[in-house]
Structure 1
Amino acid sequence: MKFYDRSRSLCEWERVEEWREKMRVSLAAQESNKVSPFHLLSIPGVSAAEQRLCADLWLKDRTDASAVERADLAFSYATSSRPKIRLGYLSCDFHEHATAFLLAELFEAHDREQFEVYAYSYGPDDGLGMRQRLCEFFDSFVDLQALSLSEAAQAIHRDNIDILIDLKGYTRGTRTEILSYRPAPIQVNYLGYPGTLGGDFCDYIITDPYLTPAASAGDYSEAFAYLPDSYQPHGRHAEIGKPTKRAQHGLDEHSFVFCCFNQAYKITPDVFDIWCRLLYSVPGSVLWLLKNSKAKGRLRNEAYQRGIAPDRLIFADDLPQIEHLGRLALADLVLDTQPYNAHTTASDALWVGVPIVTCVGDTFASRVAGSLLHAIGLPELIAADLEGYYDLALELATNPARLSEVRQKLADNRLSTPLFDIQAYTRHLEALYKTMWQRHVAGDLPIAIGQTEPRL
């Protein structure tokens, strides 16, 4: 399925339906290690149940191959009470990466009287500020890069980690397979991967009631650990770069700027149709996208085929996070993708005061932006379908008073609603960790925990 991956990154859409059906045939035949769960997240029409089946099959060959080694290790765990619960965060993204930007203030807000916090890194040290910041925070920062999966699991187990939190899932560079060795008594799927890990090696998934309603539990191998607001952390001290002029970024001062800085593989033909309809309906407007040198020409050609002048697509270069946030404020309205929503890019937009319009789906990845909008008190920006998404975006783009009202509400809610309240968020997350540990000590199996209904 590597061809499909390359095609989506290039926005080559001619064979999307063909590849979706091929993947479904593979899943129906129970073919293991054929379809990446990550690729399935961005395919329109794929259900959460299919995503779980894909995850169940993805690691099967690998875990079968390591079964004897895992049985020989047969880790056991101490359940005796000790003063602090020991958390281990596992990732390859402890550097200048979107996940680290979201988590940095949470790590720093952890209650050190109740928790010891370890990092297990199998990614590169880029030598930049975020890596240094994280290394200073953790009680122990352990580099696993040179270790095999088995050796990494043994290193984690020797540290007597109580709760191991995986931050990668099936995204690029993952070594989530470490969890299949069960180095910790409680293992958690959190933040990095918007879906189930499948199998039987992860006990809980951190979520919220909007993201994964109770009725969707059968589509997840993990028990739901519910936060009361949004599942996504975001601090209140993310620095926003100095204001710049639109002309510095190739934008006209008087144009209405629609914006989407999601990766190209998230853009689907149905959503791009809507974007082009908006450009047609709002004269002089432009669509500001994240630059992808391989997809740029393709997207401009797709726009031309839909009757839109190619130069109305403006492409933004990669910038350091602070500078990126500074320029993002120049946009008028962010347009989300579907079925794989904006995640960090959505909270970035809300943080700098730019509204985002989204369309809700049935999978984890398709409900993230809606989760964020609920947590910041703007559920009116969530459309039920793509036609409603178009209507909502068009109204905001052509009714300056309505857009101004929404932007003012966002400004008022930015620091008064739960989305960016990292201190409260951390306390809620820690309460979930404590409940997980108490249930384990009592010999109870994982079940849905936390606040299972959305807060009013």
Structure 2
Amino acid sequence: MSNALKIEKLRAKAAELHGAGALGEAEKLYRRILELHHTDRAARAMIGVIRLSQGRAAEALAILDPLVIEAPGDVDIRTQRGLALQDLGRRAEALADFDQALAIKPGNVISLLYRGNLFLESGAFAAALGAYDQLLAAAPGYDEAWFRRGACLWLLDRFDDALASYARALALNPARFSAAFNSGTVLLKLDRYNEAFSAFEKAKMLAPAHPYVLGGIASAILGGADLARWDTCRAQVVSAVRDRSAVIAPLTFLPFCEDGLLRHACSAAFVADRVPAPAAPLWNGERYSHDRIRVAYLSSDFHQHATAELIAGLIERHDRSRFEITAFSFSRDDGSAMRARLVKAFDRFEDVRNLSDVDVARLLRESEFDIAVDLKGHTEGARPGILAHRPCPVQVNYLGYPGTIGAPWLDYILADAVVLPLSEQPFYSERIIHLPHCYQVNDSSRAIADDTPSRAEAGLPPDDFVFCCFNAAWKIAPRIFDIWMRLLGCLPGSVLWLLDDNDSAREHLRAAATARGIDPARLVFAPRVEQAAHLARHRLADLFLDTLPYNAHTTASDALWTGLPLVTCAGTSFDGRVAASMLHTIGLPELVTQSVEAYEALALALARDPARLAALKARLETNRLSSPLFDTDRFRAAIEAAYQAMLLP
């Protein structure tokens, strides 16, 4: 057999192994080719490609550089060198290689794909979309192009378009797990929870053991208040965290499990999976001597959002003689009045949405911020990878996520003695710091609309008792819903007024009421309205019923700010004690119960005793403006004292 024939047989086998992911075996065959023909360019190039697949971009570049000189017109080699340059962070040189490859061979599929991926990685989403559209013009049946286009549209907040692109990818390649899974993720974002459940079920069929699938299914069940599937899902989620067979988003896990050790394990596993370990900390013990303490607040919620409603007044009131306050925002500008208010309130407003985690971290370090406050934790839009680079001397978990981040780079969590007793410290990676009153900041300037709709306009009965809960649907668990239905059963004509969160939740909650013997028409769903009008309509309700194990947080503030009494049951974890903390702070501790049985009994007793309920409302109105709960300036002094204490040597 001639050498040429041997080489081609070796090349075919090497390509087969390479395609199957057997990189080491493939490389052995490529090297045997080089023994037979030591200048074989294709074999050398493929070893470079293997180095890229192994994450060894510098070695790949050392192989590919001379090959580009030998064969400047070889589009594939030039494209692979561009990919190596991209992996090394040399984006401008990478783009030049991709452009040169396309100049040589316009419409080259791989060059167009990598060029789009480079733009996507660089945050140039519009340019990436243009590249993917150009790619699809050349290869309309290429499922990878449709998939990448979907990812780009997601980042452009064009969720319906992203869903359509993922659908095309899945139609072209029905076995593509990533397209099915990402479709579910987009449907979650669109609040289309029944469809999201179906998408994740499809993904599960394609990859039953994939560690992300169960978390997606659980998110769809929670978001759609699918109480019929809730208990089964809970058992699966808790088991998966216990045996580490799945990666569950910590916020998804909280409503299912109050066990502190498992919650910490869930957070730690999520961080380990999602946040690459940085090479080295950016801050190495230096202490700054600024005239004012530099505080950076990090969030994707600096727009019309519950967190913004709570914190805006604090940002405006920070003592500028002692503190310099900066926003690091990684969210869209929604054009809202709240966004404009926050931009004005901060001393600096850094829009870092299109910067990488490490670039944001470097900006924090170069600006010598003393304290970074993560307002997101493990909630939607969080970017824990920023503070993982340790850019600041003090890094704090506050407000957005009522639990541990499960990682070493956050030093403190701000809480209070009710929501997070020091006995809970073993379950937290952060050191617990107590504020003197309720940990949750409130804005005492929040406007309540003067005009209150009539009960008839709100779809409520004119005289019967109105129970109310405007918590998000994902907080409604079967045990608490059972209590609510029993309350309606005990009070003929009474109704339960809920937030019209999404179509799936409305459907499932009505079905759950029917299954419990209650006419679903007694569940009244309030559509979303502008915030001041939403606060005003609280006046139509008689009593707010809290959820468990995950309480009302901002929604509890809403109720109390508008003078609506709230009954809660103190849970065993941070998120289940927030309403209790507020009620203690505002001087209504008798509305905090210690068991679900007592919660049910108290709610029923108040509904049957108008005089007692009226007395509570009168006390709430008296305390509302005098207690620490809605004293923003008093809170400001407390949190600033905590910040100063954190910086002590």
Bin for the TM-score computed over the shorter chain: over 0.9
What amino acid sits opposite 1:381 in the alignment? L
Q: Is the 8 A contact 1:358 1:389 kept in 2?
A: yes
What residue is the counterpart of 1:447 in the other structure? none
What residue is the counterpart of 2:490 in the other structure? 281
The C-alpha deviation readout for 1:232-260, integer Å capped at 9, x for no partner, is 11122110012221111111211211000
Q: What's the secondary structure of 1:93's corresponding residue?
A: coil
Cα distance between partner residues in 1 of 2:238 and 2:222: 17
The C-alpha deviation readout for 1:81-126, integer Å capped at 9, x for no partner, is 2211000000000011010010011111100000000100000101
231, 235, 246: which one aligns with 1:17: 231
What residue is the counterpart of 1:53 in the other structure? 265
Q: Is the 8 A contact 1:206 1:226 kept in 2?
A: yes
Q: Higher relative contact order at CA 8 Å, sep ≥6: structure 1 or structure 2?
A: 1
Q: How does 1:167-182 map to 2 (within 5 A)?
A: 167-182=375-390
How far residue 418 of structure 1 moved from its aligned partner, in angstroms, is 0.8
Cα distance between partner residues in 1 of 2:219 and 2:503: 16
What residue is the counterpart of 1:190 in the other structure? 398
The question of 1:139 aligning with 2:351 is answered no
What residue is the counterpart of 1:36 in the other structure? 249
What amino acid sits opposite 1:404 in the alignment? A
With normalisation by structure 2, the TM-score equals: 0.65
620, 623, 637: which one aligns with 1:410: 620
Q: Answer 1 or 2: which has greater strand percent.
A: 1
The question of 1:149 aligning with 2:357 is answered yes
How far residue 8 of structure 1 moved from its aligned partner, in angstroms, is 1.6
The C-alpha deviation readout for 1:273-328, integer Å capped at 9, x for no partner, is 10001101111110000002211122112111211111110000001111100111
Q: Is the 8 A contact 2:374 2:397 kept in 1?
A: yes
The two structures, once aligned, show a CA RMSD in angstroms of 1.3
What residue is the counterpart of 2:136 in the other structure? none
Q: Answer 1 or 2: which has greater helix percent.
A: 2
Q: Is the 8 A contact 2:556 2:579 kept in 1?
A: yes
What residue is the counterpart of 2:287 in the other structure? 79
Gaps of 5+ in 1: 443-456
Cα distance between partner residues in 2 of 1:355 and 1:101: 20
450, 462, 466: which one aligns with 1:253: 462
**Most deviating of 79-88 and 380-389:** 79-88
How far residue 373 of structure 1 moved from its aligned partner, in angstroms, is 0.5
Q: What's the secondary structure of 2:551's corresponding residue?
A: coil
Q: How does 1:205-284 map to 2 (within 5 A)?
A: 205-241=413-449, 242-284=451-493
Q: Is the 8 A contact 1:339 1:361 kept in 2?
A: yes
The C-alpha deviation readout for 1:360-409, integer Å capped at 9, x for no partner, is 11111100000110110011001111110000000110101110111111
Cα distance between partner residues in 2 of 1:145 and 1:80: 27
How far residue 72 of structure 1 moved from its aligned partner, in angstroms, is 4.8
Q: What's the secondary structure of 1:433's corresponding residue?
A: helix
304, 315, 330: which one aligns with 2:514: 304
**Stretches of 4+ moved more than 3 A in 1?**
72-78
The question of 1:62 aligning with 2:270 is answered no
Q: What's the secondary structure of 1:147's corresponding residue?
A: coil
Q: What's the secondary structure of 1:188's corresponding residue?
A: strand
What residue is the counterpart of 1:450 in the other structure? none
Q: 1:375 to 1:132 in 2, by over 3 A?
A: same
What residue is the counterpart of 1:314 in the other structure? 524
**Most deviating of 146-155 and 108-117:** 146-155
The C-alpha deviation readout for 1:171-201, integer Å capped at 9, x for no partner, is 1111122111111111000000011111101
What residue is the counterpart of 1:422 in the other structure? 632
How far residue 344 of structure 1 moved from its aligned partner, in angstroms, is 0.3
The question of 1:386 aligning with 2:596 is answered yes
Q: How does 1:104-143 map to 2 (within 5 A)?
A: 104-143=312-351
Cα distance between partner residues in 2 of 1:339 and 1:215: 19
Cα distance between partner residues in 2 of 1:300 and 1:21: 24
How far residue 73 of structure 1 moved from its aligned partner, in angstroms, is 5.9
Q: 1:269 to 1:222 in 2, by over 3 A?
A: same
What amino acid sits opposite 1:179 in the alignment? L
Q: Is the 8 A contact 2:230 2:478 kept in 1?
A: no
What residue is the counterpart of 1:454 in the other structure? none
What residue is the counterpart of 2:173 in the other structure? none
* Structure with the greater alpha carbon radius of gyration: 2
Cα distance between partner residues in 2 of 1:340 and 1:424: 27
What residue is the counterpart of 1:330 in the other structure? 540
How far residue 131 of structure 1 moved from its aligned partner, in angstroms, is 0.7
How far residue 77 of structure 1 moved from its aligned partner, in angstroms, is 5.2
Gaps of 5+ in 2: 1-214
What amino acid sits opposite 1:62 in the alignment? R
How far residue 226 of structure 1 moved from its aligned partner, in angstroms, is 0.7
Q: What's the secondary structure of 1:339's corresponding residue?
A: coil
The C-alpha deviation readout for 1:190-217, integer Å capped at 9, x for no partner, is 0000111111010000100011111111
How far residue 128 of structure 1 moved from its aligned partner, in angstroms, is 1.2
How far residue 76 of structure 1 moved from its aligned partner, in angstroms, is 3.2
How far residue 58 of structure 1 moved from its aligned partner, in angstroms, is 0.6
Q: Is the 8 A contact 2:226 2:509 kept in 1?
A: no
With normalisation by structure 1, the TM-score equals: 0.93
Cα distance between partner residues in 1 of 2:225 and 2:273: 31
Cα distance between partner residues in 1 of 2:601 and 2:415: 30
Q: Is the 8 A contact 1:77 1:184 kept in 2?
A: no
Cα distance between partner residues in 2 of 1:94 and 1:80: 28
Q: What's the secondary structure of 1:42's corresponding residue?
A: helix
426, 433, 436: which one aligns with 2:643: 433
Q: Is the 8 A contact 2:456 2:462 kept in 1?
A: yes
216, 221, 227: which one aligns with 1:2: 216
The alignment of Structure 1 onto Structure 2 pairs a total of residues equal to 433
The C-alpha deviation readout for 1:323-354, integer Å capped at 9, x for no partner, is 10011121100000000100000010000000
What amino acid sits opposite 1:36 in the alignment? A
Q: Is the 8 A contact 1:264 1:295 kept in 2?
A: yes
What amino acid sits opposite 1:210 in the alignment? V
Q: What's the secondary structure of 2:295's corresponding residue?
A: strand
Q: Is the 8 A contact 2:372 2:392 kept in 1?
A: yes
Q: Is the 8 A contact 2:570 2:593 kept in 1?
A: yes
What amino acid sits opposite 2:290 in the alignment? R
